[in-house]
A = this chain, B = another copy of it.
Amino acid sequence: MYGAGDVRVVNAPDPTLIHPTDAIVRVTQSCICGSDLWPYRDMAATDEGQSMGHEAVGVVEAVGKEVTKVRVGDTVIMPFAYSDGSCDFCAEGLHTACMHGSFFGYGGLNGAQAEALRIPYADGTLFPLHAKIDKALWPSILSLSDVMGTGHHAAHIARVAPGRTVAVIGDGAVGLCAVIAAKRLGAERIILLGRHPTRTVLGREFGATDIVAERGDEAVSRLMELTAGQGAHSVLECVGTEDSMVSALNIVRAGGAIGRVGVPHYQSIPAGQTFVKNVIVGGGPAPVRAYIEELLPDVLEGRIQPGRVFDRTISLSDAAEGYRAMDRREALKVLIAA
């Protein structure tokens, strides 16, 4: 990306192993993330450009000499953050706080919207798939690299549990995956706040029991009406704007929890309102690497189908069109197939 709205597909040198813990992965599928749309909308023009993309599945082409868990030829999931797999935080399952980790597509590291890329800490980062996987499952496998794990993180932080009333804010791909996660964790009622009928229809298929299409104060009133004036035990904030966070704070039930996974484009959370209501606010970059183990069996056995959020498939050469379509909401989430 060379600036807002300026996506180019360019030839780049083939990635090479730099550290002995690196691997090179040939990307078979990647995709465009809602968070990629922020720079698409407001990035200052640059000559150097920024390599984009942080979600992929692919095949290992080469490994450094200290790589032991991942082998050439392995099919792997590449989570959006790389992580050494051995520090205290990785050991605890918070790979996004890895002491040696960071995010793909930042700090000079290549992004995954590419034919191939270098993976730091391959053993800690990549999740090898040893089973033979049906072609139809690939989009759902790809979703474990970010969007499904992110929806799960929102649900986990917001303490979704059997019997709970859950509100999901946002009918984008993360919000829809959050619906899947809430259903999977046993929520009794799942209220999806979203105003795009093609998306909320999918939300219903994923398990949403109610749709609130109103916005702002009207959405809050409607949700309170649906919950006998109490609000939702768990609010999954999957947008990241000031408005969505205000709604989250207004609809969360006293003693409830808000799981935030939309990258915050607001400055602060009110200290008094959350205190009086004894509300828990948590969330951040999802440690999707840790969640793959939990979510993968449900994908492989067809119990969840997060890959359905991909409603358009393009080739890498059409990346600019993919961004355009997502930005204009013509596509929900775009898959880039090799």
Binding site for B on A (CB under 8 A): 88-89, 92, 94, 96-97, 157, 230, 245, 254-255, 257, 260, 263-264, 266-272, 274-285, 287
Each complex incorporates copies of this chain amounting to 2
Q: A89-B254, A264-B272 given. 5 additional CB < 8 A pairs?
A: A268-B270, A278-B282, A278-B283, A278-B287, A280-B280
Given contacts A230-B88, A255-B92, contact A275 B284 (CB under 8 A): yes
Q: Which secondary structure dominates where chain A touches chain B? A: mixed
Residues in B whose Cβ lies below 8 Å from that of A284? 274-279
- CB proximity of A1 to chain B, nearest CB, Å: 22
Contact B270 A281 (CB under 8 A): no
- CB proximity of A112 to chain B, nearest CB, Å: 21
Contact B275 A260 (CB under 8 A): yes
28 contacts between A and B (CB under 8 A): A89-B254, A94-B278, A97-B254, A97-B255, A97-B277, A97-B278, A257-B282, A263-B275, A264-B271, A266-B271, A267-B270, A268-B268, A268-B269, A268-B270, A268-B271, A269-B269, A269-B270, A269-B274, A269-B281, A274-B284, A275-B283, A275-B284, A276-B284, A277-B284, A278-B285, A278-B287, A279-B282, A281-B282
- CB proximity of A201 to chain B, nearest CB, Å: 30
Contact A255 B285 (CB under 8 A): no
Cα distance A71–B132 when bound, in Å? 70
Residues in B whose Cβ lies below 8 Å from that of A276? 284-285
Cα distance A268–B242 when bound, in Å? 14
Residues in B whose Cβ lies below 8 Å from that of A285? 275-276, 278
Q: Which of B254, B257, B271, B281 contacts A245 (CB 8 A)?
A: B271
Residues in B whose Cβ lies below 8 Å from that of A230? 88
Q: Which of B96, B268, B271 contacts A278 (CB 8 A)?
A: B96
Given contacts A254-B97, A255-B97, contact A274 B281 (CB under 8 A): yes
Closest to A269 in B: B269
Residues in B whose Cβ lies below 8 Å from that of A157? 280
Contact B264 A275 (CB under 8 A): yes
Max chain B C-beta neighbours (<10 A), residue from A271, A274, A285 = A271
Residues in B whose Cβ lies below 8 Å from that of A278? 94, 96-97, 282-285, 287
Contact B280 A281 (CB under 8 A): yes
- CB proximity of A222 to chain B, nearest CB, Å: 20
Contact A94 B282 (CB under 8 A): no
